[in-house]
Amino acid sequence: MPFEEGIRMSPKKEFAVLASQPGANVGELCRRFGVSRPTGYKWLRRFESHGEAGLEERSRRPICSPRKTDGSTEELLLMIRDERPSWGARKIKRYLEGLGENELPSPSTITEIIRRNGRMELRPEGKMWKRFECDRPMGLLQMDFKGDFKTSSGQCHPLTVLDDHSRYLLELGACGNEKGDTVKGRLKEVFRRYGLPGAIITDNGPPWGTAGFPLALTDLSLWLIRLGIELKRSRAHHPQTMGKIERMHRTLKAEVIQARQFRTLSDCQWSFDEWKDDYNFTRPHEALGMATPAERFSISDLEFPETMPEIEYSPGDKIRKVSNIGQICFLGRRWRVGKALRGRPVAVREVADGIFDVVYVRQVLLRINDSDAPMGASIIDIC
């Protein structure tokens, strides 16, 4: 009967004993045992040289591997992985190439080295999202607070501001609270250094919005609008709208926040500054073609004004003053634009026949249709 893989030793031994007999027809035995002649003669040679032990299965691993990564290179790759456990093979390879290491294996080989040495973390497969990217640096900033954490002297609330085009981290501030005045003070320093952005996108919570009415304007929002910055809001319950800053938060948590205990906010800020420089200038980014954020970032031509500019509207605009309860009168009706604007002038601008935009500086707050009567929202969802 033909040789079967499930009963390897017995057929081999039987074949070898019969084939070693004087006058045996090895070719005929090969046919009857269902093996090729080269295999049959190989078994016979091993049996004659080493007896039954020569018939045991042997490893097919080559004696030497000319293309195997040498030990020193593996040690270097694993050292970088240990130092930066969230980095994958492509980042590690790109980083070492930047340091002059050119004799490196492929990313797939580096991944296998990491896996083989127990440095691989299994990640669940996520949903693929369509990626959006602003077409220029400082065209759009993403701004958010990373979840607060405890220090020995109180809570730390990390404020983060990220350039959408380059992923450049403009601000990583260790704040003691999440109040509008705290954010405003930090943003002043950001704008003085990097200039003014075209727009900023945030989520719908404080200090960007108002609790219970998330699309309402706040004093911080009005200050940004006065600077000529367009405000955008992410969709409710859709964190992927601000996916870049959310992804950065995950890396920040893994590499800094979870890595040590902090005593004070100053202690936090020192670690944040060190990590921010590494993130901007050293860390390759796969979405940037393995470039660093600094390689794609440039400052804005719009300088931060130390004196707030005057509000000016077009000659054809109808100017209305917001009442103390946050409303304006137009077309014989009252329209709500938000209490934060009370006492301030807004413009009602006709954009089509019977359709008007209510504008503060350059920010559209509300669209009015001549045929509509309900109260408006404080700021339209522009995302």
Residue 18: phi and psi, rounded to 5, are: -70, -40
Q: Whole-model pTM?
A: 0.64
DSSP 47-68: HHHHGGGGGS----S-S--TTS
Q: Which of 159-163, 221-225, 249-253, 315-319 has the highest mean pLDDT?
A: 159-163
pLDDT (0 to 100) of residue 60: 59
- Are 151 and 185 part of one and the same domain? yes
- Are 144 and 290 part of one and the same domain? yes
Cβ contacts of 131-134, under 8 Å, gap ≥ 24: 131/243, 131/287, 133/164, 133/165, 134/164, 134/165
Distance CA 68, CA 76 (A): 15
Average pLDDT rounded to a whole number, residues 70-92: 75
pLDDT (0 to 100) of residue 241: 65
129 inside domain: no
303 inside domain: no
- Are 78 and 212 part of one and the same domain? no
pLDDT in tens, 341-380: 889 999 999 888 888 999 998 888 888 887 664 444 433 3
Contacts for 310 with CB less than 8 Å, ≥ 6 apart: none
Contact 140, 169 (CB under 8 A): no
pLDDT (0 to 100) of residue 6: 42
Contacts for 340 with CB less than 8 Å, ≥ 6 apart: 216, 217, 218, 219, 221, 222, 326
Q: Higher pLDDT residue, 80 or 64?
A: 80
pLDDT in tens, 119-139: 665 444 444 445 577 889 999
CA distances from 44 to 50, 52, 245, 360 (A): 10, 10, 68, 94
Q: Is the dihedral of CA 165, 166, 170, 171 positive or negative?
A: positive
Looking up tokens 């950065």 gives 248
pLDDT of 90 strictly over 70: yes
DSSP 196-209: --SEEEE-SSTTTS
- Are 50 and 76 part of one and the same domain? no
**pLDDT class of 194 with cuts at 50, 70, 90:** very high
Q: Which of 19-23, 183-187, 285-289 has the highest mean pLDDT?
A: 183-187
Average pLDDT, the chain: 81
32 inside domain: yes
Out of 264, 296, 328, pick the residue that ends a domain: 296
**What residues make up the domain containing 112?**
71-116
- Are 100 and 197 part of one and the same domain? no
- Are 167 and 269 part of one and the same domain? yes
**pLDDT class of 108 with cuts at 50, 70, 90:** confident
pLDDT (0 to 100) of residue 276: 92
- Are 193 and 99 part of one and the same domain? no
- Are 77 and 43 part of one and the same domain? no
Residue length of the chain: 383
Average pLDDT rounded to a whole number, residues 230-247: 75
302 inside domain: no
**pLDDT class of 53 with cuts at 50, 70, 90:** confident
377 inside domain: no
Average pLDDT rounded to a whole number, residues 16-34: 82
pLDDT of 328 strictly over 50: yes
Contact 262, 271 (CB under 8 A): yes
pLDDT (0 to 100) of residue 10: 62
- Are 152 and 287 part of one and the same domain? yes
- Are 110 and 163 part of one and the same domain? no
Domain count, the chain: 4
240 inside domain: yes
12 inside domain: yes
- Are 227 and 176 part of one and the same domain? yes
203 inside domain: yes
pLDDT of 383 strictly over 90: no
Q: Higher pLDDT residue, 181 or 92?
A: 181
- Are 195 and 337 part of one and the same domain? no
